Amino acid sequence: MTHPLQPASRAPQWPHGANANDPELEALVREIIGRIADKWTMLVIEALAERGCLRFTQLAAAVGGVSQKMLTKTVRQMEADGLLVRTVYPVVPPRVEYRLTEMGMSLAEAFCGVWLWAEQHRHVIEASRRAYQAQAEGEGESTP
């Protein structure tokens, strides 16, 4: 079972062994992840994955709490990355629709694992935070 040429205690528990030691690939993946993991991108993906196709104002309402500036910036970035398509209808008043590409939908699916994880562990995380907080306060108690 153990491989003689590979120390068992250092076996990759990170589920994708292939790229773990490749610094170039890691830098690229890091940049992509950093980009998709920003505050609004995932929420835009979720909104569009749920509703299919939305206009700018509808998208803003679906995301919730996003400023015009940030929504514009986010969707432009996502368009450049090929995660969504932006369709401008030459009418007055303007009408612009946003829809996920296939790649955008596949990202929604890939991110589903993290979403489920967060859902499943949130109570444990919150309990852990409270315990940590309580302990930290207990330690500083001797000097009131």
> Which residues are at the interface with a copy of itself (CB under 8 A)?
9-16, 19-20, 23, 25, 28-30, 32-34, 36-37, 39, 42-43, 46, 49-53, 64, 79-82, 100, 103, 105-119, 121-122, 124-125, 127-129, 132-133
Residue among 55, 19, 54, 41 nearest 111 (CA): 41
Side chain identity at residue 57, one-letter code: T
Residue 106, C-beta contacts closer than 8 angstroms, at least 6 positions apart: none
CA-CA distance, 86 to 68, in Å (whole number)? 16
Strand order in the sheet with 84-89: 53-55, 95-100, 84-89
Minimal distance in Å, beta carbon 110 to DNA?
22
- Residue 22's binding partner among DNA, a copy of itself, none (Cβ under 5 to 8 angstroms by kind) is none
Query: Residues in the site for DNA, rule: CB under 7 A?
Result: 38-39, 55-58, 66-70, 72, 75, 86, 93-96
- Residue 62's binding partner among DNA, a copy of itself, none (Cβ under 5 to 8 angstroms by kind) is none
Nearer to a copy of itself, 139 or 144 (CB): 139
- Residue 43's binding partner among a copy of itself, DNA, none (Cβ under 5 to 8 angstroms by kind) is a copy of itself
Whose tokens are 């996920």? That residue is 100
Minimal distance in Å, beta carbon 6 to DNA?
25
CA-CA distance, 42 to 74, in Å (whole number)? 10
